[in-house]
Amino acid sequence: MPVYVRDMPFSDRPRDLTVLGVKVRAFAYEPIVWVSLTPHEVTVLPPDAPRFPAVVDTGNTLALNIRESHLTAWTRPGLRAADLPLAEPPAPVHDASGRVVPLPRCRARVWLYPYPEGSDLAPLDLQPDGGILVYESPPTPREQPAGSPPVGPHLPLLGARGLIPKGLAVCVDYKRLRVTVRSDDPPPTGGWLRKVWRRMWPRGVT
């Protein structure tokens, strides 16, 4: 029953995070984990792969939502949406303004880093189901038509399809401001230990 992220703190206030020497803003109450992204054919995470923050979004049915500007800045070499093969044809995406725009899903690998650092666990290949959603960089404001694709989230979003393939469970503790990501496999032993595990980690609770 590995715990990949144990009690990683987040904040009830906006805060700055540093990614490759550049500050980015996390909003209040956003549970953050750290991930890397590589092309799908890369099966071993390179040691120099940049890591970047992703908001754990349990209401998001996709695997990962990311702006193309973040994709390019936080991968090595800098990837663009066109560099990633299609996983699925374009499907409707609803942005915050209510617009519906068809966007494609791209094949890529997302790697989850363990917390706290120094644990025996290696970054976990999430093998996201259905690909990731990349919000391609829009045209300049003067050229941007009314129906252009939405810009995307301020930070990447790690959603349900990024957690399901590995059978991961998420516990977001808003009282303690901690997030935990673990395998949802119960202990192999039966009896009282299994019952205690069920009370502590009921399935479906986030």
Q: Which of 55-64, 148-157, 162-171 has the lowest mean pLDDT?
A: 148-157
- Give the β-pairing of 132-135 and 64-67: parallel
Instruction: Note whether residue 206 is domain-resident.
Output: no
pLDDT of residue 203: 47
Neighbouring residues of 12: CB distance < 8 A, sequence distance ≥ 6: 28, 29, 177
Question: Which of these, 200, 72, 203, 60, lies nearest to 130 by C-alpha position?
Answer: 60
pLDDT of residue 200: 46
Instruction: Note whether residue 205 is domain-resident.
Output: no
Instruction: Note whether residue 125 is domain-resident.
Output: yes
In a 3-state reduction of DSSP, which class is residue 166?
A: coil
Instruction: Note whether residue 121 is domain-resident.
Output: yes
Range of the domain at 62: 3-200
Is residue 193 pLDDT above 60, yes or no? no
Q: Which of 13-22, 132-141, 185-194 has the lowest mean pLDDT?
A: 185-194
> Averaging pLDDT over each range in 7-11, 138-142, 146-150, 184-188, which range is the top one?
7-11
pLDDT of residue 101: 78
Is residue 196 pLDDT above 60, yes or no? no
Cα–Cα–Cα angle for 23, 25, 27, rounded to 5 degrees: 160
> Position of tokens 């192999």?
188
Q: Would you say the C-alpha torsion 150, 127, 41, 156 has a positive or negative sign?
A: positive
Instruction: Note whether residue 122 is domain-resident.
Output: yes
Alpha-carbon gap, residue 68 to 53, rounded angstroms: 15
- pLDDT tens digits for range 90-149: 888 776 667 777 888 999 999 999 999 888 899 999 999 889 999 887 655 555 555 555
Instruction: Note whether residue 10 is domain-resident.
Output: yes
More confident residue, 18 or 118: 18
Alpha-carbon gap, residue 106 to 85, rounded angstroms: 6
Number of domains the chain contains: 1
Cα–Cα–Cα angle for 181, 34, 122, rounded to 5 degrees: 70
pLDDT of residue 115: 97
**The two structure tokens encoding residue 47:** 């040691």
pLDDT of residue 142: 52
- pLDDT tens digits for range 22-79: 999 999 999 999 999 999 999 999 999 999 999 999 888 899 999 999 999 999 989 9
Dihedral pair phi/psi, residue 39, rounded to 5°: -55, 155
**What is this structure's pTM?**
0.83
